[in-house]
Amino acid sequence: MNIQIRGIHKAFASFPALDGVNLDIESGELIALLGPSGSGKTTLLRTIAGLEFPDAGEISFGGENIASRPVRERGVGFVFQHYALFKHMTVADNIAFGLNVRKGSARPSKEAIQQRVHELLDLVQLSGLDKRYPSQLSGGQRQRVALARALAIDPKVLLLDEPFGALDAKVRKDLRRWLRELHDKTGYTTIFVTHDQEEALELADRVVVMNRGRIEQVGNNQQVYEQPATPFVFDFLGSVNILPGEVKDRQLRFDGSDDVWDSESKESGLVDIYVRPHDLQIVDAAAPGLDATVTLVQRAGALIRISAALATSGERIELELSHLDTLARSRQPGDAIRVAPITFGLFPRAPHRRPTTLPDVVPNAPAENRERARN
Ligand SMILES: Nc1ncnc2c1ncn2[C@@H]1O[C@H](COP(=O)(O)OP(=O)(O)OP(=O)(O)O)[C@@H](O)[C@H]1O
């Protein structure tokens, strides 16, 4: 079932939660709605489900406008972050719920429901647990039951709101892989909400990046990560160094450097240069580049993370290099290095350029301290 979303606006009081959203979803696609808290992901999902009604705009399923249709007529399966299983019902009864409440001839026979429940238990790899109650299951198992319940009605569209948000990292990763395989097997058009970049990039066919009720970019994982359309997407999808520069006659110059790099940008003017830490390299002293002094070196498995201060401005930059990189492996704090970008993104200079927001990583510190350093 393909989905077309046109010009959706939705305000709560006067706050625009969705501010002109347009999106086309192909039949059988697995789509991630990704964005920070409050960006409108859940509101968009709920609007597609029919749990919210837009103030303006149209939503079509398979070419039919369903904007005014109530939720029960939309044929959507819904899974929430917090397992909305019925505690007093067995796993089998939870899965069968959507079929058992159907009226008259729409309700399958007892035997047909039982058979469907067993097929679904098999699909979500929980065969044999049909008589258990939700309290006797792990978090990951409960979410799989929730998914089986959503699939029981053979939905046109499957909607998942942070389905793995409440689970620990390891279970989350396993379920992610499992959901991808399940999706490929069943072919349902699936939309899931997440604020986890890695989850979106790893799982989805296409990622919809949202910010302040608007869509910033739609693309596959390579497009949104390697060719971010806006500064927001660049920043949200990974660490980034942001440095000032200028484009003139299709040539880019970093502030404080005489060297130039070819630029695809036709527009001349002041720019912010966005470079990911792994897109910076250490080069020979004679090569075009920026002079800097190493301030911190952290070795993490196959990676060497180097923090350095630019000679011209003192601004901090971060590099992420391979442990095999001969120019990187022997660096120590205090060393002079020359740094050049492999690739970069250019955006018109923002009025208030943010300083590079990269974590000061404390070597060998416990994870919680590193997290604190980042905040
Ligand atoms: N029922 C409501 N009443 C008032 N404001 C609401 C309501 N639902 C959502 N909002 C507001 O709309 C904005 C978007 O909310 P939404 O839940 O869609 O964001 P989100 O991207 O899903 O965030 P999160 O990741 O935190 O769930 C937020 O500012 C939120 O406070």
| CATH code assigned at 49 | 3.40.50.300
Say if ligand 1 is within 6 A of residue 41 CB. Answer: yes
Residue having the nearest C-alpha atom to atom 5 of ligand 1: 12
Residue having the nearest C-alpha atom to atom 18 of ligand 1: 40
Ligand 1 center to 121 CA (angstroms): 34
Q: How many CB atoms lie within 10 A of CB 256?
A: 15
Residue 350 · residue 274 · CB < 8 Å: no
Q: Are residues 61 and 178 in the same domain?
A: yes
Q: Are residues 361 and 285 in the same domain?
A: yes
Q: How many CB atoms lie within 10 A of CB 30?
A: 21
DSSP code, position 238? S
Q: Are residues 169 and 275 in the same domain?
A: no
Which atom of ligand 1 is found nearest the CA of 46?
18
Question: CA 320 to CA 308: how far, in whole Å?
Answer: 11
Residue 266 has pLDDT above 90, yes or no: no
Q: Are residues 309 and 252 in the same domain?
A: yes
Sign of CA dihedral 203, 206, 212, 216: positive
Ligand 1 center to 13 CA (angstroms): 12
pLDDT of residue 367: 39
Residue 68 · residue 88 · CB < 8 Å: no
Q: Are residues 136 and 165 in the same domain?
A: yes
Sign of CA dihedral 298, 304, 305, 307: positive
pLDDT per position as a tens digit, 226-249: 899 999 999 999 899 999 999 998
Residue 365 has pLDDT above 60, yes or no: no
Which atom of ligand 1 is found nearest the CA of 195?
25
Say if ligand 1 is within 6 A of residue 52 CB. Answer: no
Residue 305 · residue 313 · CB < 8 Å: no
pLDDT of residue 358: 52
Q: Are residues 258 and 154 in the same domain?
A: no
Q: Cβ neighbours of residue 363 under 8 Å, at least 6 residues apart? A: 296, 298, 299
Which atom of ligand 1 is found nearest the CA of 35?
21
Q: Which of 36, 2, 38, 39 is nearest to 21 (CA)?
A: 39
Q: Are residues 41 and 84 in the same domain?
A: yes
364 — pLDDT class (breaks 50, 70, 90) = very low
* Arithmetic mean of pLDDT, 298-314: 92
pLDDT of residue 375: 34
Residue having the nearest C-alpha atom to atom 16 of ligand 1: 40
Phi (first) and psi of residue 165, to 5 degrees: -60, -30
Say if ligand 1 is within 6 A of residue 35 CB. Answer: yes
Phi (first) and psi of residue 81, to 5 degrees: -60, -50
Q: How many CB atoms lie within 10 A of CB 6?
A: 16
More confidently predicted of 372 and 188: 188
Inter-CA distances, 172 with 58, 161, 181, Å: 34, 14, 14
More confidently predicted of 320 and 375: 320
pLDDT of residue 363: 39
Q: How many CB atoms lie within 10 A of CB 115?
A: 12
* Arithmetic mean of pLDDT, 316-341: 93
Q: What percent of the chain has pLDDT over 70?
A: 94
Residue 197 · residue 238 · CB < 8 Å: yes
371 — pLDDT class (breaks 50, 70, 90) = very low
Q: What is the CATH number of the domain that holds 354?
A: 2.40.50.140
Ligand 1 center to 40 CA (angstroms): 6
Q: Are residues 111 and 223 in the same domain?
A: yes
H-state helical runs in the chain: 41-49, 91-100, 110-123, 139-152, 169-186, 197-203, 221-226, 231-236, 367-374
Q: What percent of the chain has pLDDT over 90?
A: 58
Residue 265 has pLDDT above 60, yes or no: yes
When mean pLDDT is compared over 123-137, 153-167, 349-363, the highest value belongs to 123-137
* Arithmetic mean of pLDDT, 244-260: 90
Residue 109 in tokens: 């026979």
Which atom of ligand 1 is found nearest the CA of 213?
14
The owner of tokens 């044999």 is 128
Inter-CA distances, 89 with 85, 107, 133, Å: 8, 19, 6
Q: Are residues 89 and 205 in the same domain?
A: yes
Mutational test site, ligand 1, from 43, 51, 164, max ligand atoms within 8 Å of CB? 43
pLDDT per position as a tens digit, 143-194: 889 989 988 888 889 999 988 877 778 878 888 888 898 899 888 999 999 9
pLDDT of residue 101: 85
More confidently predicted of 372 and 161: 161
Say if ligand 1 is within 6 A of residue 17 CB. Answer: yes
* Arithmetic mean of pLDDT, 89-103: 91
Residue having the nearest C-alpha atom to atom 4 of ligand 1: 12
ipTM of the complex: 0.95
Domain that holds residue 248: 239-374
pLDDT of residue 361: 44
How long a stretch of residues is the chain? 375
How high is the mean pLDDT of the chain?
88
The CA-based diameter of the chain, rounded to the nearest angstrom, is 82
How many structural domains is the chain composed of? Answer: 2
pLDDT of residue 368: 38
How crowded is the C-beta side of 255, counted as CA atoms within 13 Å? 15
Domain boundary among 169, 203, 231: 231
Reported pTM: 0.85
Strand partners of residue 374: none
Residue 51 has pLDDT above 60, yes or no: yes
Which atom of ligand 1 is found nearest the CA of 39?
21
Domain boundary among 178, 213, 231: 231
